[in-house]
A and B are shown apart, each in its own frame.
Chain A
Amino acid sequence: MADNTGRVIVITSGKGGVGKTTTTANLGMALAALGEKVALLDADIGLRNLDLALGLENRIVYDIVDVVEGRADFRKALIKDKRNQNLVLLPAAQTRDKSAVSPEQMQKVVSDLLDDGFTFILIDCPAGIEQGFRNAIAGANEAIIVTNPEMSSVRDADRIVGMLEAEGLKNPKLIVNRIRPKMVKNQEMLAVEDVQEVLGTNVKLIGVVPDDEIIITSTNRGEPASMSEGSLAGQAYRNIARRLRSDEVIPFLDLDEKVTFLGRLKKLFASS
């Protein structure tokens, strides 16, 4: 292994569709903007999407399978983001499946990237707990679990905590994504504290991201929300990037909207 201090973080969840790829793209952009040398690695072979979230889909020549099978040097396969020189993407292959890469090959790719001086390597993990997951966590030395305030994703997150622990990735960090403050306030949705409470103290909360339409429009444009000022979700991701880099204490966003007496009355009559 390389004797440098680069951090290799796998972004995982168990359940699909909770926002792993969006989180990877946004944190990558935010970390790069903070001056880190960032490599994003799409481990979802056969179902590549991180390129779309970043708007880099038209620039792919080689992918991670080309690298591990020796058709391309890893430096040639890296796509440099023109908006921020600090950011590169190593895309997944689209025509193959998870068996195209082994955990050992993944470790080799990661160690080459570390040797090349990247300070943050974020690995976008596929959904599930099968080989794709095994590959994605193989080279990582830290983990971020993304979950939604909803039962099945919290349950899957709990299972992932156990599996990560078994692989030596202890004390994963937690991002609660897609919080709808109004529903939380109305006791209709699990609050961040509820999610933390059921997952236990082994998991450390590192961010809370509101359910924000900007995520849809920014993904449509291929410009992660964290690139531009003015959105709550973008701000949330920038804050997470800062918390990741240092122990600097940045308070969680106040997502509370006012729920009024009149609002409850209205709701009551609407539902009856």
Chain B
Amino acid sequence: MAFNDFINKIFGKDDKTAKAVAKDRLRVVLMHDRAAIPAPVMEELRRELMAVLAKYVDIDETASVTLEDYDDAVALVANVPIRRNRLSSSKS
């Protein structure tokens, strides 16, 4: 056990408590429950979305599409690093 963990435990400040883990896991599972998008559909959505984007921009393979909590709503968040703009690069 690292010294920091030891101190945190003594002072009751364990940074990843059972409660925190439960809350994080619950948040994620509820996001998916509420959006009601099954994992295979989500993957299909990601693939098609990336295909569309790839027509216009040179995108990074590491792009991710996730559901995130947004106040009381669920948001579909696509995080897509763009290498360069295909249209402008084709003009030059």
Contacts and interface: CB of A to CB of B under 8 A. Distances in A.
B54 interface: no
Interface stretch (A122-130, A189-197, A217-225): A189-197
A158 B30 contact: yes
Contacts of A201: 72
Interface residues of B, number: 20
A154 interface: yes
A162 interface: yes
Contacts, number: 56
Interface stretch (B13-21, B60-68, B76-84): B13-21
A194 B33 contact: no
Contacts of B12: 186-187, 259, 264
Chain B contact residues: over half helix, strand or loop, or mixed? helix
Contact of B33 (A150, A158, A191, A197): A158
B26 A188 contact: no
Contacts of B27: 198
B23 interface: yes
A158 B29 CA distance: 11
B78 to A, nearest CB: 24
Interface string A173-193: 000000000001011111100
Interface in B32-71: 33-34
A187 B30 contact: no
Nearest to A191: B19
Contact of A265 (B1, B10, B20, B25): B10
Nearest to B13: A187
Interface string A159-183: 1001000000000000000000000
B86 interface: no
A151 B22 contact: yes
A94 interface: no
Contacts of B72: 200-202
A155 B26 CA distance: 7
A246 interface: no
Task: Return the 10 tightest CB-CB contacts between A and B, nearest first.
Answer: A187-B17, A200-B72, A187-B19, A188-B18, A194-B23, A268-B9, A198-B26, A158-B30, A151-B26, A151-B22
Interface of B: 1, 9-12, 14, 17-20, 22-23, 25-27, 29-30, 33-34, 72
Interface of A: 150-151, 154-155, 158-159, 162, 184, 186-191, 194, 197-198, 200-202, 259, 261, 264-265, 268, 272
9 contacts: A151-B25, A158-B30, A158-B33, A187-B17, A187-B20, A189-B19, A190-B26, A264-B9, A264-B11
